[in-house]
Amino acid sequence: MRIFDKNIISGQVDKTTFDLFSKISCIAKKTDIPVYLVGGFVRDLILGKKNKDIDIAADGDSIYFAEAYKKTYGGNIVSFSKFKTVILLTENGEKIDVASSRSEFYPDPGSLPIVSDSDLINDMRRRDFTFNSLSVSLNPSDFGQLIDCMNGLHDLQKGIIRINHDKSFIDDPTRILRAVRFEQRFGFTFEKNTLKLLREAVKLNYLQTVSSERIREEIKKSCLEHRPEDFFQRLEDLGILQNIAEYLHFTPQMREDLIHIKDEISRYNSLFKSSELDLIVIYYLILLEPLNQENLTDFIRKYSLGNKIKRLGKLNISQKREKLREAGNDNFKIRQTLMKLNNEELIFLLNFFKNKNIKEKIRKYITEIRFIRLSINGQDLIKAGHKPGAETGKILDKMMNLKLNGYLKTEEEERKYILENL
């Protein structure tokens, strides 16, 4: 274990965060519980990257520590005694995960660990990679000092991904997905033995021992990376996708679609700031579109995907392509073809179809057609003398057709049309 004298917090975090760490330090002294900043925050602090996820390891009772903070400064806590962890919501709204230093034992590959009390060194050893096993003291006597239990600083500076022990990918196979995510995010390289053990874990299909929920969460995190296409390409190259589902593949066309759809998403979000798109849904639509109905249904069931993704099987992409082609410049027909689609499906189709004419029709629907409304409604028709019922709906559709195609421009023209067609 190496301890560095230099204070790596001072001048490296904003005043609000520094003040928070100072408060934590005061509680450490008050409770006589040593505490350490751990995890991704430390890694990213050294890399000069922002990270708002604050994790604290307490060499003692984490719940008692959090309660002492709450009593002194305010806030709230949510505790999970089984795993000796607590979420501390501070008086200023910051969220801090506090966990008692612990060791873990995995009774079976992919199972949740059995947790027991331990110290900082063993807490660092149980973690996934060496560069995630760095910690910073928040104790008054050595505040800000970096503690390196696994030679993680060397690996971080050299851009090396190295597991802490040879059973790491077997104990928790989600580390396979996490390793690829870090590789692609930071542009790091796998240490030789780590890559060998990762390939062996993939070959032995250890990801199948993990709950679908945990795999889904790892995929979700990777979809939110800056270049998810690189992550999925690497999963394909390493054979990991087939661990997730044997029929799943990442094709060159999918890669191209993931790259290009970012422009469409950015354009949409800049136009409609109040209704930003669900990136996860869009990326899943791209990944799952080539699957046949049987495999699509199986994947959605297995990974408990939401209703927006379930709709993919009923999207009828080929039919919509033909209807849009046949619609010509008829705005009403364009509307009828696309009006039941949600925003994510619209952006997906806009990117999926390569024909410029069809793309422009979808773009026109997104930005113009779908916002056009009649000034009158069914009650206006009835007041004018039309009988209520299905016929009223047909008249409104006909009027919408005329409005969308420029034949009814004002409310006055709409009311005139009602009277002329009694």
What's the rounded Cα separation, in Å, for the pair 302 and 306? 12
Within 8 A by CB and 6+ apart from 117, the residues are 84, 100, 101, 102, 103
Backbone φ and ψ for 50, nearest 5 degrees, come out as -80, 140
* pLDDT tens digits for range 345-384: 999 999 999 999 999 999 999 999 999 999 988 888 888 7
What is residue 380's predicted lDDT score, i.e. its pLDDT? 82
Closest by CA to 314, choosing from 340, 347, 353, 334, is 340
d(CA 295, CA 310): 12
Strands 35-38 and 134-137, bridge-based pairing: antiparallel
- Answer yes or no: is pLDDT of 229 > 70: yes
Crossing angle of helices 356-367 and 343-352, rounded to 10°: 160
* Partners of residue 3 on adjacent β-strands: 147
3-state secondary structure of 71: helix
pLDDT band with cut points at 50, 70 and 90 for residue 110: confident
Sheet containing strand 85-89, strands side by side = 2-7, 145-148, 134-137, 35-38, 54-58, 95-100, 85-89, 76-80
Whole-number average pLDDT of the chain? 93
CB atoms within 10 A of CB 239: 12
- Tens digits of per-residue pLDDT, 38-51? 999 999 999 999 99
Pairing assessment for the beta strands 189-190 and 160-161 based on DSSP bridges: parallel
Q: Which of 245, 238, 107, 108 lies closest to 176, judged by CA?
A: 238
pLDDT of 422 reads: 64
Per-residue model confidence as pLDDT tens digits over 139-179 = 999 999 999 999 999 999 999 999 999 999 999 999 999 99
C-alpha distances (whole Å) from 8 to each of 1, 3, 12, 44 are 17, 12, 7, 12
DSSP 246-310: TT----HHHHHHHHHHHHHHHHHHHH-TTS---HHHHHHHHHHTTS-HHHHHHHHHHTT--HHHH
What DSSP state is assigned to residue 97? E
Give per-residue pLDDT as tens, 57-103.
999 999 999 999 999 999 999 988 777 899 999 999 999 999 999 88
Q: Looking at residue 55, what DSSP letter applies?
A: E
Map out the domains of the chain with their CATH numbers.
2-158 (3.30.460.10), 159-244 (1.10.110.30), 245-367 (1.10.3090.10), 378-420 (no CATH)
